[in-house]
Structure 1
């Protein structure tokens, strides 16, 4: 299950167990928090950020699980933009491999890249942070 670590007018952090069920919990948590901040539930940016959360948490579950460590999802919003970060306990980067046309998997980061204005990977201590930024079209609730 998930545990909300912190939430305020600009930042939200939640920790999830590294298991398949956490993908839907992270997606729902991101969507709920964005709506709490005043992003409309039908906003394409909300859909994009929820999809990005799904893809990045799935990558942790499938490729970056570390025993005893949770996957952490963070949102940071500024006027017109939201940055999503997913932290796992592995500092190493997965090598990119060539995709075969009929392979079912392996396109998650391509999808994230296509949905975001920017994305990247950073290391912080012993953790890896994969992040993406999505711009919001329209009016946001005021950032305090």
Structure 2
């Protein structure tokens, strides 16, 4: 297709909701972004991969019983690199809505996601899917602020 940039996406992955998927998905996404010559700084890529690891770990730990498979989507557009993790569990975590300075006994991984996203000048959120599950996503600017 004429005019396509080498980094046009989105790219989708699926994986079993188990511990082995965390490093595998992180490496697949890192390799894809490099292979596609995505114009992203090292700092943003490192933050994105840490966010991905936290989101996949969260799905593995909290959603695997109801969602034995998870989905990951990486997309690029509007100067943002976005990663999203989808599972079929209906619970919508509140950590992304919480103030980062509050004490939490769980959800610290999502608070880390929020902090990394905020630091990079990006946005993150949780959305319900049409099938009753959820997608947790973060979008980071291609270049740090």
- Shorter chain as denominator, the TM-score bin is 0.7 to 0.9
* Equivalences, count: 127
SS for the counterpart of 2:89 is: coil
Matched ranges for 1:118-129 at <5 A: 118-125=123-130, 126-129=132-135
- Runs (4+) of structure 1 moved beyond 2 Å? 39-42, 66-69, 94-100
Distance in 1, Cα, partners of 2:51 & 2:93: 18
TM-score scaled by length of structure 2: 0.77
Distance in 1, Cα, partners of 2:32 & 2:112: 22
Matched ranges for 1:97-116 at <5 A: 98-99=103-104, 106-116=107-117
The Cα of 1:110 is off from its aligned counterpart by 1.2
Structure 1 partner of 2:69: 70
Q: What residue ranges of structure 2 are gaps of 5+ in the alignment?
A: 1-6, 96-101
TM-score scaled by length of structure 1: 0.77
Structure 1 partner of 2:79: 80
The Cα of 1:98 is off from its aligned counterpart by 4.1
SS for the counterpart of 2:115 is: helix
The Cα of 1:106 is off from its aligned counterpart by 3.6
